[in-house]
Amino acid sequence: MDHSQILEQLLPALGGKENVSHSELTDRTLLVFVKDRSLTDLVALREVEGVAAAEINRNRVRLTMGETLQEEQNEEVPFMASKYDGLARIIIQNVGGKGNIIALKHCVTRLRFTLKDESLANTDILKNTDGVVTVLQAGGQYQVVIGSYVDYVYDAVIDVGHLQSATAGADQDDTAADDDGDGKKRNLLNMFIDVVSAVIQPTLGVLGASGIVKGLLACLTYFHLLESSSGTYQVLYAFADGFFYFLPIFLGYTAAKKFKMNEFIGMALGASLVYPNMVALKGAEALGTAFAGTAFEMSYTTTFLGFPVFFPAAGYTSSVIPIILACLLGSKLYKWGRKVIPDVLQMFLLPLLVILVMMPLTYLIIGPVSGLLCGVLQWVFNLVYNLPVIGGALAAAFVGFIWQICIIFGVHWGLTPLMYINLATMGFDYVLTANIACSWTQFAALGAVLVKSKDEKMKKITVPAFISAFFGVTEPAIYGITLPKKKPFYITCVASAIGGIIMGSMGVVKYMTGGMGLFALPCFIDPNEGGVGMRNLIIACIAILVAMVISFVGTMIVWQDTVPKKKKDQEPDAFADEDAVPAGPAVVYSPVAGSAKPITECKDEVFASETLGKGVVIDPSEGKLYAPFNGTVSNLAETLHAVGLQSEDGTEILIH
């Protein structure tokens, strides 16, 4: 292996290309100067082939190389890196550094951090970073909204920060998920949302795909383009219905991962719930019934050691809550077993212990209790939904109005289990039908902004958000345009509520969980023979069109396009407060003697791209640093490589 190959292997352990200032090779010692030492993984460096030893002093990494390397004096290190490494490094630094990160996951558009201390995060810097839409603190999480390419940024953050343990939760305390990071217990709502998002979110992509296929099959059979008895239909339907049918198995994996238990134990618990013989038992002749004549009625058709095994009305196929609770309690037993069972026996005794205890416990207690809880939730929503005349319209209007607000605070996950409960027990859902209007009202509002705005920078921001909204991803639209402009966001909420009123008053339901935006429409097609066919889809489309017209026209009338006046040699800020008063000019002297160059000539891409603001590069002629104005030191890096200053009139600069 030659020298360049060795050096390329060092990149991940050094924090990525953007974290390296320069490097020099002297004899068999390689010196690498890094910008943020917290991103450097000495253990990983020592494991690289050809590295005999590794140590770090301040921001200088000293690597003692093997004898086989050729001497190459003052050679620049050839690095290859992801184009998102720079953004990843900025994010890690400004969430308080690697040491402040307890856990990290991502959803469709956001990085979701669990931090030890959120006060250490530089929220304002992140909000103004190119590539970050906005930052939210909700549900016990520090959420960095990225947009549709969040998975690429997530991978870069993991690689640059060596955060593999944070994604798996391997090095976390058992109680980490219950804390806010400062030792305070999180409330039950935050804990519930955190669990639901962690367990259900990884399955949404495949669930959406299965829903789309199921909707298309319903459409094809409705127009007699495909027979439900054909082999083609059966093969496609095996996926379309199979994933949702066996959902407890997949949720067993994600729940076990969330609760730090062996994932295959979680899958085994899920498989036991949907085992065909047990599913068949539910339809056998009842030996007894509990809560007969009520909405919570449950029957038992068999016993375990003399105790009745009750089955919820819908059984356990496609269920959500029972497997999550089973894995939660099973993880406690799993962690206890790891402490008491000898290491050499844990491989088979630990799974045996958890499954032998949890499987009967799930069928005897956890399943029936979760069935009762789900029944209570359904009863409450049915009570509201079935109010004479106004019930359906009121419930759907409420969901349509608050859905985007819930997205802002990241708590929309709290309503998702209700949809799965309805789909599993009734075969359709009415709770989350109205939320489909929200992406389309955002789409229409952005269309009005594109038509009315004369601000070219605003249009450049709006176009990608406009496209994302068409496919149901609304965060770029909400955080980037409509929410900062306020009035368009208010209009979209009202328009979505009106769309919800139309759907709720007409009793619109959906029959599956599918994609978002355009791909969510097939969910409204009734796949059952002799059902209502396209009725719900047609009404949903009418409601969406009405909501879009209200959103578009309302934005055109109410929103006023104000292009900020340019200061000299400065681009207008599309997000500037329209009523803000510009600050007065401040005199800033050079902090060091030397020759000045444009910031674009800086070797560091973050500064050269002006991501962190305007600046200048100075090649110093002496090693002395002077105060550029009268003021105070607002920030001083531990490594003394950077100092932040604030003048008496409030001007802030960074000397790096």
**Per-residue pLDDT at 323:** 93
**Per-residue pLDDT at 171:** 37
**Per-residue pLDDT at 427:** 84
**Per-residue pLDDT at 79:** 40
Report the range of poorest mean pLDDT among 270-284, 348-362, 374-388, 521-535.
374-388
Average pLDDT over residues 453-460: 81
pLDDT of 65 > 60? The answer is yes
Average pLDDT over residues 427-447: 89
**Per-residue pLDDT at 476:** 76
Average pLDDT over residues 274-285: 89
Give the DSSP letter of residue 642. -
Q: Does residue 575 or residue 121 have the better pLDDT?
A: 121
Question: CB-based contacts of 353: which residues, under 8 Å, 6+ apart?
Answer: 333, 337, 341
3-state secondary structure of 60: strand
Question: CB-based contacts of 639: which residues, under 8 Å, 6+ apart?
Answer: 37, 58, 59
Active-site residue flag, 541 = no
Report the range of poorest mean pLDDT among 346-355, 469-478, 541-550.
469-478
pLDDT in tens, 486-539: 889 999 999 999 999 999 999 899 988 766 778 888 888 888 877 888 899 999
Question: CB-based contacts of 390: which residues, under 8 Å, 6+ apart?
Answer: none
Q: How many CA atoms lie within 13 A of 152 on its CB side?
A: 12
Rounded CA gap, 492 and 548, in Å?
8
**Per-residue pLDDT at 533:** 83
Give the DSSP letter of residue 17. G
Cα 297 to Cα 285, 288, 363: the distances in Å are 15, 11, 16
3-state secondary structure of 310: strand
Cα 459 to Cα 478, 501, 533: the distances in Å are 15, 32, 41
Average pLDDT over residues 613-636: 79
**Per-residue pLDDT at 464:** 82
Question: CB-based contacts of 306: which residues, under 8 Å, 6+ apart?
Answer: none
pLDDT of 154 > 70? The answer is yes
Report the range of poorest mean pLDDT among 184-198, 452-466, 561-575.
561-575
Average pLDDT over residues 175-186: 47
Active-site residue flag, 656 = yes
Give the DSSP letter of residue 364. I
**Per-residue pLDDT at 189:** 63
Q: pTM to 2 decimals?
A: 0.58
Mean residue pLDDT across the chain: 79
**Per-residue pLDDT at 78:** 39
pLDDT of 317 > 60? The answer is yes
Rounded CA gap, 21 and 60, in Å?
10
pLDDT of 552 > 90? The answer is yes
**Per-residue pLDDT at 327:** 95
Tally of CB atoms within 10 A around 369: 15
% of the chain with per-residue pLDDT over 70: 81
pLDDT in tens, 396-421: 888 889 888 877 666 666 677 778 77
Q: How many CA atoms lie within 13 A of 377 on its CB side?
A: 18
**Per-residue pLDDT at 569:** 45
Give the DSSP letter of residue 345. G
Average pLDDT over residues 422-450: 88
At residue 2, φ and ψ (nearest 5 deg) are -85, 175
Average pLDDT over residues 47-53: 73
Based on DSSP, count helices (H) and strands (E) in the chain, helices before strands.
24, 16
**Per-residue pLDDT at 335:** 93
Rounded CA gap, 513 and 516, in Å?
9
Average pLDDT over residues 250-270: 93
pLDDT-derived band of residue 253, with 50, 70 and 90 as boundaries? very high
Cα 147 to Cα 80, 130, 139: the distances in Å are 24, 12, 19
Average pLDDT over residues 140-169: 78
pLDDT of 203 > 60? The answer is yes
Rounded CA gap, 285 and 304, in Å?
16
Rounded CA gap, 367 and 376, in Å?
14
Tell me which of 106, 107, 162, 412 is the catalytic residue.
107
Place of tokens 């058709």: 301
**Per-residue pLDDT at 49:** 67
pLDDT of 611 > 70? The answer is no
Residue 183, exposed/middle/buried by CB under 10 A (0-12, 13-18, 19+)?
exposed
pLDDT of 295 > 60? The answer is yes
3-state secondary structure of 531: coil
Q: Where are the alpha helices (DSSP H) in 524-644?
A: 535-558, 605-608
**Per-residue pLDDT at 585:** 42
Question: CB-based contacts of 236: which residues, under 8 Å, 6+ apart?
Answer: 213, 217
Tell me which of 541, 602, 641, 656 is the catalytic residue.
656
pLDDT-derived band of residue 639, with 50, 70 and 90 as boundaries? low
